[in-house]
Structure 1
């Protein structure tokens, strides 16, 4: 483990001890997981933006940049002020916002960021109240373009967004991979709006329960 990684883990743990339910994990995402997430983000046009929800100490942010995402086209939301300050020091070219994902549209408008084609979420959706989860997802899909998608990872065995909520938002879910060597193992999901063909056939089964 390098010095930078060790410092990140210690700092991340200190924030988790302050608010375990809000942080969601006791340690930053591992390399297997961050590479899997970064690999799902592709085909962005030069003027497209990518948003990360719950930046933590920047494990996913770093993987996205290493995968070719331009840092000046990234917005990272982190509600913990100490963590967002850490991110600003680590990634000076990235737009880091100290704020909640429930107000995503307002934050992006304030920073003249868009159009957004990809949102990567490290938020602990399963530990959030259903009402808060619904607002966050509605905000996310309100800013995503026609071909945009949300990438979300989860430590649970099933889809972190219930079928009822997916149907209400008009989105599909697809399991894109599992980072088995992450501690704990994590599943990565991709969520997209129904296309016109799917919308015309509401009875069609989705790819996740």
Structure 2
């Protein structure tokens, strides 16, 4: 599938990936990201050399670059979650032990901090968000890997769904996909989730509010920007 994705126009590739969002591998998502970056670079050269009024092309470049950013952040989040799922064997030093996805190994954030040139506290936020997203909203995470939605949105939805049941998480994920979340604004998508949770599991919203009051509201550690 990787070769097929690389040879397909970007819009068709994303639509194909969306249709198979539950089965894409990390390598296939990486192929999409590379294809998108190549297309953005080619458009940049064309705009600089041929466009009389380049604003239309620049609009495409802006949206294309955002898609690459979304894809890169999703890939990073997935890789961090997988890294964190590996522990040292308790009885055999130096031997790795694979844990289920979502497991946060004791020193994962300390390892990740120098990789990203960030503080340990920020690395803890990013690691926590990555480990939660891969369990709470795996299909949305894969959709972000296609570049169609931002990791900021995925992280915020993950926070909202963290305290509800796996069945309700899956139902809300499916509703978001059916509603074509990639065409909605961040505010609208979060409004959908809040409304559905109010109906399906109002206690989950209460638990989230209590957690936010206790910890203080913070922008998701892995987000590049926090929308107004």
TM-score by length of 1: 0.30
Q: Which has the higher helix share?
A: 2
Q: Which has the higher strand share?
A: 1
TM-score by length of 2: 0.28
Give the structure with higher Rg (CA).
2
